[in-house]
Amino acid sequence: MSEFNLNDDQFQESNSSNVTIFNGGKAGLSPDGVKLRIEKKSADDKPNSPDFKIIATDANGGEVNSGVWYPKATGDDERDARSMQTFGQILNHLIHTYLGPDAKAPTGTMEEVTNAVIDKLKEPMENTTVRVFTNYNTLNNPKSYMQLRKYVPFVELDSVDAANTRLTPKPSEQLERPQPDEQTTPQGATEAATEADW
């Protein structure tokens, strides 16, 4: 076996990244030219993965998404009703954005309706550019990663005059990426080992 040298370049962390961040990491109203798509949960996904993801791709190839789960009964009627309402509003919001305000949704079981909506939106989503609203979740529960807004409205055609946008910030939204707490050196900790220490 050849020599194993952790000092080789192949083992060094790189400060440069090939990952393109959606809108440069800036939350809020995106620029025009965003494409949206929906990906259903696949057999290869983990069991607790979202039932589908709404994925936005900007003009530079940066992506941001929001996972959506089918509402499940929790025994809390008020919470269950809110969950069902939010889920239905998301689907209707997508239908009306891409198919027009008078478009009617199909009926059936939740899964049948969702699958029919996703299938019906596939082509319009491929051929239409939009703008979206993103955040780092809420002020009370900030996240370190950007996401699509989890409630409506979160998308509109980029043909809508930006002066008339409905995609405006809400007071509860976290729009700046939270910064990690400053790391302090624990008392008694020593400097990192140098080559001479080995």
User: What does the pLDDT look like over 72-94, one tens digit per residue?
Assistant: 999 999 999 999 999 999 999 99
Q: Which residue has the higher pLDDT, 4 or 166?
A: 166
- Average pLDDT of the residues in 38-53: 95
User: What share of the chain has pLDDT > 90, as a percent?
Assistant: 80
- pTM exceeding 0.75: yes
Q: What is the per-residue DSSP string for 91-131?
A: HHHHHHHHH-TT-----SSHHHHHHHHHHHHHHHHHH--EE
Q: Give me the pLDDT at residue 126, please.
A: 97
- Burial class from Cβ neighbours inside 10 Å (0-12, 13-18, 19+) for residue 129 reads middle
Q: Give me the pLDDT at residue 19, please.
A: 83
For the stretch 89-125, what's the b/e string if a residue is b when 16 or more beta carbons lie within 10 angstroms of its beta carbon? ebbebbbebbeeeeeebeeeeeeeebeebbebbeeeb
132-186 pLDDT, tens digit each: 999 999 999 999 999 999 999 999 999 999 899 999 999 999 999 998 766 655 5
